[in-house]
Amino acid sequence: MKDIFEKCYEPQLQDQLREADLYPYFRALESRQDVEVIMEGKRRIMLGSNNYLGLTVNPEIVEAGIKALEKYGTGCSGSRFLNGTLQMHYELEDELKNFLGKEAVMTFPTGFMSNLGIISGIVGRHDYMILDKEDHASIYDATRLTYGKMLRYKHADMEDLERQLKLVPEECGCLIITDGVFSMGGDIAKLPEIVALAKKYGARVMVDDAHGLGVLGKGGRGTASHFGLEDEVDIYMGTFSKSLASLGGYMAADYKIVDHVRHNSRPYMFAASIPPAQCAVALAALRYLEAHPELPEKLNSNADRFRKRLIEKDVKIIEAPTPIVPIYTYEPENTLLKNKQIYEAGVYTNPVLPPACAPGECLLRTSLMASHTDALIDEAADIIGEVMHRQ
C-alpha cells in the first residue's frame, strides 16, 4: 500500500519560496489589526486587511466584547440547533435582518461555513448551481457538499451566463451564485443583468456580499442596495470578519428559506455557535455602522485618493469602485519580489498568484480602511511607486 503521507515529503512550492527568501505567508502581527501595525519588529502601513471600516480597534466595540466575555464566558460549547443559542444571537439576527431589509437572518460560526451551510442546505440532487469563475473558494467547496450539478460562466460574461442557463432542464431548480464584490479584482458583479437573466429563466439569485457589507449601498447595506435590487436578490450571504470586525457569517432571505436551511444544513446543525464575545462585537459594530452611515463614504473616498496617487505615479492598477485596489505585477516571480521589497520598505500587501488569478495576471492586492489618514495613504503610495519602478 502506498504511504498516504508521501506527497507531504515531496518538493513543494513553499519550500522553493522559503529557500529563495520570497515566502510571503503567515507573517505574525505583534500589535492590533489597525492602519499601522508591528510585524517582525517593524512598523508597516497595513494595506492587506479586510478591516474596511477600521472597527477592530474602536473602543466601544472592544468594550462590548469584553462585557460579553465577562457575562457569558468564553464559549457556547454547542450548536445553535441544541444548546448553543444565546439571546444575543437572536438580537444580532433581528437587527441584521432589519438593516438588510429581509424577513429573516441566520448566523454561522464563519463566513466560509456560511457558504457551505447555505448552498448545501438549499441545493438538492436534481438542482443546478451556476457560478462566476471568480467566485470565492468557499462557494466552490460548497458545491461539493451538494448532490446538484455545478456549471460555470466566464467572469462577468452575461452572454456566457445565459448559455449556461439554457443548459438547465425545465424540471430542475437553479441557483445563480455570485460574489457581490470580487475579492481579488475589486470589481462589482453585474447584478442588474444577473437578476434579469434569472427572471427570464426562472432561476434564483444568491449574492456573497462578504466584501460588500459596509462598503457599498445605502449606509453600507451591500451590493443589492448599491443597485437598488434589494427585493430582487433571493439570498444574501455575508461575513462579520471584515467590516463588522468580528468572526462569523450570515444568511439573509425570506423566513421560509432561512427556516429550511436551519433544519437541513449539516454545517449549521453540527457546528458550535459564534462565541459570546464575537457575537457582541458583531452586534456592536453593526450598531456603530447604523449610527455612522458616513463611514462607507469615507472608506471609498480613501480608496479614490489611493488610486489617484498610484495612477499619478504610473503604477498599473485595476480601476474598480471599491476599497480593493489591485496592482498589476503580471508574473509570479516579479509579484513575490515586489511584495517583499514593498514589505521591507514598510507597507504590507497581499500577493495574488494562480489559481487565484489567471496566469500572467498576477497582482498585489491592496485594500483601504475608512480609518486611513491622507498622510498614510500618500506615504504608502510613495513607497509602492518607488518600488514598482525599481529595475
Q: Any idea which residues carry the catalytic annotation?
A: 183, 211, 242
Rounded distance between C-alpha atoms, residue 97 and residue 92, angstroms? 9
3-state secondary structure 307-336: HHHHHHCCCCECCCCCCEEEEEEECHHHHH
Neighbours of 223 (CB within 10 A): 27
48 within 8 A of 348, measured Cβ to Cβ = yes
In this structure, the strands spanning 36-39 and 42-46 are antiparallel
250 within 8 A of 106, measured Cβ to Cβ = yes
22 within 8 A of 340, measured Cβ to Cβ = yes
Which of 165, 171, 172 is closest to 131 using CA atoms? 165
Rounded distance between C-alpha atoms, residue 54 and residue 33, angstroms? 8
- The grid coordinates listed for 70 are 465577562
Rounded distance between C-alpha atoms, residue 260 and residue 279, angstroms? 23
Name residue 188's beta-bridge partners.
Answer: 181
- The grid coordinates listed for 324 are 480593493
Q: Where are the alpha helices (DSSP H) in 73-190?
A: 87-100, 111-122, 137-143, 158-165
N- to C-terminal Cα separation, the chain: 51
Rounded distance between C-alpha atoms, residue 314 and residue 182, angstroms? 24
322 within 8 A of 303, measured Cβ to Cβ = yes
Q: H or E element: which one contains 266? A: helix 266-269
What region does 360 belong to: left with phi over 0, alpha with psi -120 to 50, or beta? Answer: left
- The grid coordinates listed for 370 are 475608512
Neighbours of 148 (CB within 10 A): 20
At 215, the amino acid letter reads V
At 161, the amino acid letter reads L
